[in-house]
Amino acid sequence: MKDRAYRFPTGFLWGTATSAHQVEGNNTQNNWWAWEQEPGRILQGHRSGRACDWWAGRWREDFDRAAEAGQNAHRLSVEWSRIQPAPDRWDEGALEVYREMLQGLRARHMVPMVTLHHFTDPLWFAERGGWEREDAPQRFAAFVEKVVEGLGDLVSLWCTINEPNVLAYMAYLEGTFPPGEHSLRKALRVMVHLLRAHAAAYRVLHRRQPHARVGMAIHYRGFVPARPHSRWDRWVARMLSRLFNDFFPYAAQTGVLLFPWGRRREPELQGTQDFVGVNYYTQDRVQFDVRAVDAFFARRFYPPDADLSDHGFIANEPEGMYRALHWAYAFGVPVFVTENGVEDADDDLRPRYLAQHVHQVWRAVQEGLPVQGYFHWTLVDNFEWDRGWTQRFGLWALDVDTQERRKRPSADFYAAICRSNALRYEDVARYCPEVLHRVFPQASTVG
Ligand code: IFM
């Protein structure tokens, strides 16, 4: 192999992704803060607390880290409850802090992508019924209007809602996110309201900023039939993918809602995405199981020989990234990898996970798919929702008590990728030689 590197197109965005509640600290006005105070909600009774202390100003040192590590972009979210702490009150000071952060990114030559909703709702919004209410989309659109008015000169790449599919699933079916419901009827209702909120936000952003690029970040989960010859396994895998993966981007593209029992048209949803954001972590094997009524007749599992993360939460399945990007491409707009990463406190798995996933992104780019950037989850260990501080996704480790950061080897590996705009043989050989033969099969056999 002559060129021992997988090179990316000029202008490709390399960054990390974060979210307000997970990094800012003291987000006391939202539903997650309240949820964390309830016994039994968060693993080991953890709380977000000071988180990564960004609201007190530590974003500066973390942005320095990212910039010095060659990153040319960063995806962050703004916290609705800070900007609109009460239905009739806007906090200009909070908007000013976000202005400083965005100016801070630009001063470091990093392109900002701003997420407008990342799992948390203002308490006042949650207490009056949250996403179950018919008027939730209008409420959200008013907030978006305020944000674009205040920050629109600093950002043009917007992600309206992060993982609406995960939010609906965790908060309304599994019940591990607030408000802790277990109702398919409510989940579907909320999904429709989230879509309408996205479409309303899309229109607000484009009216104020015709050149804006607006999309959602969808958590794409691979569902692979456990027994490929079984039509039941294939059927159940397709059904899960349709409900979990397709529902949001398909409606935003076509204006058609894909319900389990049929379709419904909502024309105002149509044509409301300029890109598809893919959050890809892993894929499941799925087997049809007639007894699994509450799980849509599916048993999901990782293969026995899977390369697992610390808590068995994520299996290293890089091929799923390639499939995810092809899936996203089918919606006919550019694609960003808006999240990808792994929980790995000791950084044993992360280097090879990173190499193998970036390699699959390159494969897709090489085939001509319009993938325009990759955001690694995440910059510094942060508050991992119902799993508290037990799962460590950061390129930098965080001591929550002292706020001390410690660089993991993957941070240097990712820096090498970002700086060279390529996945190079020598870097894979240095940081994860165990997968060199997989990532560079030709080069390893040639010697
Ligand atoms: O930390 C989360 C993030 O908030 C949404 N996507 C998945 C990440 C890792 O679990």
Q: Is the CB of 71 under 6 A from ligand 1?
A: no
Contact 209, 158 (CB under 8 A): no
What residues are paired with 111 via a beta bridge? Answer: 73
219: nearest Cα among 276, 165, 159: 165
What is the Å distance from ligand 1's center to 444 Cα?
A: 35
Domain count for the chain, please give it. Answer: 1
How far apart CA 288 and CA 235 sit, in angstroms, is 8
Q: Does the Cβ of 427 fall within 6 Å of ligand 1?
A: no
Q: What is the pLDDT along the chain (447 residues), one digit of tens a residue?
A: 546 999 999 999 999 999 999 999 999 999 999 999 999 999 999 999 999 999 999 999 999 999 999 999 999 999 999 999 999 999 999 999 999 999 999 999 999 999 999 999 999 999 999 999 999 999 999 999 999 999 999 999 999 999 999 999 999 999 999 999 999 999 999 999 999 999 999 999 999 999 999 999 999 999 999 999 999 999 999 999 999 999 999 999 999 999 988 999 999 999 999 999 999 999 999 999 999 998 999 999 999 999 999 999 999 999 999 999 999 999 999 999 999 999 999 999 999 999 999 999 999 999 999 999 999 999 999 999 999 999 999 999 999 999 999 999 999 999 999 999 999 999 999 999 999 999 999 886 544
Residue 447: its pLDDT value, please? 40
Our answer on whether the CB atom of 48 is closer than 6 Å to any ligand 1 atom is: no
The number of the ligand 1 atom at minimal distance from the alpha carbon of 393 is 9
User: How much distance in Å is there from the Cα of 162 to the middle of ligand 1?
Assistant: 9
Residue 381 Cβ < 6 Å to ligand 1: no
Q: Which among 246, 32, 49 is positioned nearest to 130, based on CA atoms?
A: 32
| Ligand 1 and 344: CB distance under 6 A | no
Distance 384 CA to ligand 1 centre (A): 7
Closest residue by CA, ligand 1 atom 1: 384
| CA 48 – ligand 1 centroid, Å | 14
Which of 384, 386, 387, 390 gets mutated to test ligand 1 (max ligand atoms within 8 A of its CB)? 384
Q: In sequence order, what DSSP letters do the residues of 291-354 get, joined into one string?
A: T-GGGTTEEEE--TT--B-TTS--B--THHHHHHHHHHHTTSS-EEEEE-----TT-SSHHHHH
Residue with CA closest to ligand 1 atom 10: 384
pLDDT confidence of residue 201:
99
- Interatomic CA distance for residues 277 and 338, integer angstroms: 5
- 335 touches 329 (CB < 8 A): yes
Nearest alpha carbon, ligand 1 atom 4? 19
| Nearest atom of ligand 1 to the alpha carbon of 119 | 4
User: Does any ligand 1 atom lie closer than 6 A to the CB of residue 343?
Assistant: no
Cis ω for the linkage preceding 16 (within 30 of 0): no
CA of residue 281 to ligand 1 center, whole Å: 9
| pLDDT for the residue 260 | 87
The beta-carbon contacts of 385-389 under 8 Å, at least 24 apart in sequence, are 385/22, 385/32, 385/42, 385/119, 385/177, 386/41, 386/42, 386/43, 386/170, 386/176, 386/177, 387/42, 387/43, 387/311, 387/313, 388/42, 388/43, 388/44, 388/45, 388/46, 388/47, 389/44, 389/46
The residue type of 89 is R
Domain of residue 269: give its range.
2-446
Q: Say which DSSP state 268 is in.
A: G
Q: What CATH number should be reported for the domain holding residue 382?
A: 3.20.20.80
The whole model's pTM is what? 0.98
| Ligand 1 pocket, mutate which of 24, 52, 279 (most atoms under 8 A from CB) | 279
